[in-house]
């Protein structure tokens, strides 16, 4: 027997113990010093475990220890390939329009002035998108599919969006498919009728965004006429919550606002929004359209200190954060072959951050099918196990490889001009603090009186 090379021991000084996380199996539990020593050192001796069969069995089941002849790198590679080409569930994100009613200075989509001038999905192209989704779902024999409405601001093309949802929901019901629906909006156009429709279509996920306390937010996410949007977004959050629509608030973080988040959280509480689901997202320069923005937070060491503090602050104030590490072989869903982002021109992308940048188009809808271009093969050929390990030793030996997948493909493109190099990003540096806080939340939920 031997210890997994993907075991990560995280000291928990508050509880005088260690948190053991295995990035291959996803196992997380607390252990004491004696157990840590046993796993790290005891297994080196052939007879050290003979009097502990129950412990050995449990550790083996959790992937903490394994037979001495097993090569975990091979396990990781097969798991990676299998995950990427699993078509049980498909994700279709529809860019209803590139148009937006806001003027955010860091927008990665920019002004969308391309050779192809179609900025809004309508008419025949709407029909083609619906047929494509039906065809892909049937062809790949997928039993579940998700449809997300995206933009620009998707509610600017609201009627087309509801038409799509109505047709697809009817088709799903008639063809024994399960359909999930989500929407990513800036939150300025929501009203009672839209909320009624969101409930009618059983929308499972709605995401709005705020950029800090009112004065900062209003500078960073103004309407085209310069008027602030903070009050309107707060009103929309209240409307969604009152209608019991599952809602997440994304809080963007940059150099201007990272130390001013507490007033925002306090204001959310005063507005009756305590307990809201939150996520903190560091704004990054991902396309040429947004490189002129001067307030990016790019120092990864600084980010690694800031984000855990914000997580802790939000938890202390009673907000809901999902911090359990996602046990996924890829960095995100864009690296799977079951994800499609479709724009009004019928072009297909893989990554949200690349939408509108035609350098990253991987194909288009043609005759109801996915017509791939070379970019598709270039993107999908990205594989952390094929990286030049002589040059990138840290990937081969990294204990997070099974749940990192070599990092972000788009970040690799931005940094190196290719999808095929590692780009760990700041999230890798946060894993230990994330796990500690996840267990803290879990403990509080299980022991509400403590």
pLDDT reported for residue 318 = 95
What number of residues does the chain have?
A: 450
pLDDT per residue, tens digit, the chain (450 aa), is: 899 999 999 998 877 899 999 999 999 989 999 899 989 886 654 455 556 678 888 899 999 999 889 999 999 999 999 999 999 999 999 999 999 999 998 886 665 444 456 899 999 999 999 999 999 999 999 999 999 999 999 999 999 999 999 999 999 999 999 999 999 999 999 999 999 999 999 999 999 999 999 999 999 999 999 999 999 999 999 999 999 999 999 999 999 999 999 999 999 999 999 999 999 999 877 666 556 666 877 788 889 899 999 999 999 999 999 998 888 999 999 999 999 999 999 999 999 999 999 999 999 999 999 999 999 999 999 999 888 766 656 777 889 999 889 999 999 998 899 999 999 877 777 888 899 899 888 876 676 554
Give span(s): CATH 3.20.20.70, the chain: 82-316
Q: What is the pLDDT of residue 298?
A: 73
State phi, psi for 258 to the nearest 5 degrees. Answer: -60, -30
Axis-axis angle for helices 123-139, 158-174 (nearest 10): 30
DSSP 223: B
The predicted structure's pLDDT at residue 45: 45
For the record, the structure tokens of 171 come out as: 């088709």
Q: What pLDDT is recorded for position 447?
A: 62
> Which tokens sit at 5?
């090379």
Read out DSSP for 349-374? Answer: ES-GGGTT-GGG--EEEETTEEEE-H
**Structure tokens belonging to residue 392:** 């990138």
Q: What is the pLDDT of residue 391?
A: 63
Nearest CA to 101 among 252, 219, 226, 194?
226
Supply the pLDDT for residue 93.
99
Cite the beta strand spans of 269-356 per DSSP E. 277-282, 339-342, 347-349
* Structure-token pair, residue 65: 């220890």
Structure tokens at 194: 């839209």
Fold of 82-316: TIM Barrel (3.20.20)
Q: Are 401 and 24 in contact (CB under 8 A)?
A: no
């Amino acid at each position: 027997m031997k210890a997994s090379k993907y075991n990560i021991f995280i000291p928990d000084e508050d509880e005088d113990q260690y948190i053991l996380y295995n990035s291959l199996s996803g196992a997380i539990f607390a252990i004491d010093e004696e157990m840590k020593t046993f796993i790290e050192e005891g297994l080196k001796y052939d007879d050290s475990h003979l009097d502990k069969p129950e412990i050995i069995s449990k550790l083996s089941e959790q992937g903490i220890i394994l037979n001495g002849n097993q090569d975990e790198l091979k396990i990781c590679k097969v798991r990676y390939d299998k995950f990427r080409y699993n078509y049980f569930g498909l994700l279709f994100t529809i860019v209803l329009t590139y148009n937006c009613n806001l003027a955010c200075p860091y927008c990665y989509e920019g002004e969308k002035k391309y050779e192809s001038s179609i900025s809004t999905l309508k008419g025949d192209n709407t029909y083609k998108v619906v047929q494509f989704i039906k065809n892909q779902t049937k062809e790949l024999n997928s039993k579940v599919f998700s449809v997300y409405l995206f933009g620009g601001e998707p509610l600017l093309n609201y009627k087309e969006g509801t038409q799509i949802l109505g047709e697809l929901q009817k088709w799903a019901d008639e063809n024994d498919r399960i359909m999930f629906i989500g929407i990513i909006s800036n939150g300025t156009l929501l009203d009672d009728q839209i909320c009624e429709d969101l409930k009618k279509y059983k929308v499972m996920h709605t995401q709005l965004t705020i950029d800090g306390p009112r004065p900062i937010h209003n500078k960073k996410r103004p309407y085209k006429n310069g008027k602030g949007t903070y009050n309107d977004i707060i009103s929309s959050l209240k409307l969604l919550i009152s209608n019991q629509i599952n809602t997440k608030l994304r809080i963007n973080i940059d150099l201007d606002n990272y130390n001013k988040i507490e007033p925002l959280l306090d204001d959310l509480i005063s507005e009756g929004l305590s307990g809201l689901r939150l996520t903190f997202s560091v704004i990054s320069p991902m396309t040429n359209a947004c490189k002129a923005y001067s307030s990016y937070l790019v120092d990864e060491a600084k980010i690694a200190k800031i984000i855990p503090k914000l997580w802790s602050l939000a938890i202390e104030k009673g907000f809901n954060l999902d911090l359990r590490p996602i046990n996924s072989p890829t960095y995100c869903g864009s690296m799977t072959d079951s994800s499609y982002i479709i724009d009004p021109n019928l072009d297909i992308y893989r990554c949200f951050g690349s939408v509108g940048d035609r350098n990253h188009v991987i194909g288009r809808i043609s005759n109801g099918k996915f017509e791939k271009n070379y970019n598709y093969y270039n993107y999908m050929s990205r594989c952390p196990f094929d990286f030049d390990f002589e040059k990138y030793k840290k990937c081969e030996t990294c204990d997070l490889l099974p749940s990192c997948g070599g990092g972000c493909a788009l970040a690799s493109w931005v940094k190196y001009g290719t999808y095929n190099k590692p780009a760990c990003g700041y999230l890798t540096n946060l894993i230990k603090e994330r796990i500690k806080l996840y267990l803290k939340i879990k403990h509080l939920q299980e022991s509400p009186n403590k």
